[in-house]
Chains A and B, each alone.
Chain A
Amino acid sequence: MTRYFADAREFVPILLQGVWLTIVVTFASLVLSTLLGMVWALMRVCRVRALQQLAKGIVNAIRGVPIIVQLFYIYFVMPELGVTLTALQASIIGLGIAYSAYQAENFRAGIEAIDKGQVEASESLGMSWGLMMRRVVLPQAVKIILPPYGNIMIMMLKDSSQASTITVAELTLKGQLIAASTFKYTSVLTMVAVLYLVMSVPLILFVGWLERRMQRARS
């Protein structure tokens, strides 16, 4: 145990550099996936058939390819097409795109859960589609979307570890490197796991709080 603490004193500062990158990757890809997901979702529910089909195709293509393959594609294949990205940029874009599909499905489910009568009332007031979305549908859909959104945040935090596969020195890769060079797998990987847990717990509590709040709002 004392040896573990000695290791911790030595390795945690290095791991914390990884934690910082993990947070950067998670936050940036969360923002990107939310924006892209909103675009796909609005295309799915808009009244132009071609856009609906296009969004459906995009979401299915993204969902059907493993995240790690998407990351490899952006980091290793894009340079051949003339687009060279740093590992960090590639990981943020890759995770952002990969998760935009799940974000889109969540947003769409929330939008489609709104009573048809709300759409008719908006139309009968002469609202345009955009105004109806902004003033009537989305404000109500947010309450349905938020709890699953919190879960997606937690999943993204953990999946940011996949950035390690394209050399982003975030928490997982840092841990791997330290463990491989010191052979102290047990203590290093335990620290890595604990650090992820420490980052997840606030998110988990936040989701729980959201769900309780939504429960109250419904009753």
Chain B
Amino acid sequence: MIELVDVHKSFGGVEVLRGISAEIGRGEVVCIVGPSGSGKSTILRCINGLEAYDGGTVTIDGVRVDRQSPGIKSIRTQISMVFQRFNLFPHRTALENVIEGPVYVKGARREDAIPRARELLARVGLAGKADAYPAELSGGQMQRVAIARALAMQPKAILFDEPTSSLDPELVGEVLAVMRALAEDGMTMVVVTHEIRFAQEVADRVLFLDHGTILEGGPAKQVLTRPQHARTQEFLRRVLRPI
């Protein structure tokens, strides 16, 4: 469904992506792991056109993603994104955040969007928080609202950009639980994460990224427990080191 072929991207002379090729099928959960600055987030941002890429192609169901083309809006309604820092709309309640896309982008009727949004908030465990403003919610709750907002677009896939990295440790679990449930429901997910254990349990496949290239990729168990590449082994040793 999502296909990247030899994608290149530079920021002011620094090459962040050096030929990324990957395919993500319908219903697949793919985790992208790797050290900071390896280009993980940039891959996600190229998939929904938040970032332009310099070479190669990104396609969604055969349609080329081009930040400049008018068609990008329709691609973005099909591919939702969940951000590291939530990026909820602070001047709107949780419920209003969730219906914003369906009502104002897709033209749904409010009367239809509201009950659906309430269902989604219930699904992420926030039925009682519909009328709360983001400032009144904890980080974990905000991220779960953001996931509900992404789901409200009825996307083909959701991109998660380090969804738990700015959460207090005790709040990470509630967000991962919601994501795990989504994966079990068959949602196509691309997750940039440092949560190796989550990747191990939930991901179908893991891509290990270093310096803008995919060093290795394959079934989660294989990459995370029997990594072939020395760089991957070293990274996992450091991430998983016992305290």
Q: Which residues of A approach B to under 8 Å, CB–CB?
A: 115, 117-118, 120-121, 123-128, 131, 135-136, 139-140
Contacts and interface: CB of A to CB of B under 8 A. Distances in A.
Contact of A124 (B74, B76, B85, B89): B76
B89 A136 contact: yes
A124 B105 contact: no
16 contacts: A117-B83, A117-B86, A118-B87, A121-B88, A121-B89, A123-B49, A124-B80, A125-B77, A125-B149, A125-B153, A126-B73, A128-B73, A131-B105, A136-B89, A139-B91, A140-B91
Given A117-B86, A124-B50, 19 more contacts: A120-B83, A120-B87, A121-B81, A121-B87, A121-B88, A123-B49, A124-B80, A125-B105, A125-B153, A126-B74, A126-B76, A126-B106, A126-B153, A127-B73, A128-B73, A131-B104, A135-B100, A139-B91, A140-B91
Interface of B: 48-50, 73-77, 80-81, 83, 85-91, 100-101, 104-106, 149, 153
Nearest to B88: A121
Contacts of A128: 73
Contacts of B90: 140
A127 B50 contact: no
Contact of B83 (A121, A131, A135, A139): A121
Given A126-B105, A127-B105, A118 B89 contact: yes
Nearest to B85: A117
A117 B87 contact: yes
Contacts of B91: 139-140
Nearest to B49: A123
Nearest to B101: A125
Contacts of A117: 83, 85-87
Contacts of A115: 87
Which 9 A-B residue pairs are closest in the complex by CB-CB distance?
Answer: A121-B87, A117-B87, A126-B77, A126-B76, A124-B81, A125-B101, A126-B73, A126-B105, A139-B91
Nearest to A218: B135
Contacts of B149: 125
Among A118, A125, A128, A136, chain B packs the most CB atoms within 10 A around the CB of: A125
Contacts of A125: 76-77, 80, 100-101, 105, 149, 153
A107 B206 CA distance: 46
B125 to A, nearest CB: 21
A79 B136 CA distance: 60
A117 B166 CA distance: 14
A58 B104 CA distance: 33
Nearest to B73: A126
A218 to B, nearest CB: 10
Contact of A120 (B50, B74, B80): B50
Contacts of A127: 73, 101, 104-105
Contacts of B76: 123-126
Contacts of B83: 117, 120-121, 124
A128 to B, nearest CB: 7
Contacts of B106: 126
Contacts of B100: 125, 135
Nearest to B76: A126
A140 B134 CA distance: 14
Given A124-B50, A126-B77, A128-B73, A135 B87 contact: no
Nearest to A47: B68
A118 B88 CA distance: 7
A117 B100 CA distance: 16
A140 B49 CA distance: 25
A156 B178 CA distance: 55
A175 to B, nearest CB: 46
A216 B70 CA distance: 41
A121 B147 CA distance: 12
Among B87, B106, B149, B153, chain A packs the most CB atoms within 10 A around the CB of: B87
